[in-house]
Amino acid sequence: MLVGDAASLVDPFSGEGISNAMHSAMLAAECAAQSLREGTAHAGGLRRYEERVWKELGPELDTAYRMQKLARHKWLLRFVLNRAATRPRVRDAIVAMMRDPQAVRALTRPSFYLQLLMS
């Protein structure tokens, strides 16, 4: 089982990784202990670690990856940040987007940016 940086659990947008490393280490310990208790370590019992990591950390990492892709387009990132700085409704929408991994998918839709232009 790999944890933290070794498992590529560094946030792709912020570069932060300590909390993901600690969380993944906790999951690894829990899954290892459970597999040892059940005697399933050699029979694929450790696979539940990978499943739990992606269930618990995957949505956050997916959101950060999408934000990283947005940041590659500096003009677009500046536009979004300027709108957020001057318009509370836009700022609230972006904050809500950061909380909801499904909502961040809006970043891939041109209609999202059209709405920013109109607000």
Domain range spanning residue 84? Answer: 73-118
**Residue 51 and residue 96 share a domain:** no
What's the structural domain count of the chain?
Answer: 2
Of residues 9 and 113, more confidence is placed in 9
Predicted local distance difference test score (pLDDT) of residue 36? 93
Entry pTM:
0.69
**Residue 77 and residue 44 share a domain:** no
In tens, the pLDDT along 28-54 reads: 999 999 999 999 988 888 999 999 999
DSSP for 1-47?
---GGGGT-S-TTT---HHHHHHHHHHHHHHHHHHHHHT-GGGTTTH
Q: Classify residue 94: in a domain, yes or no.
A: yes
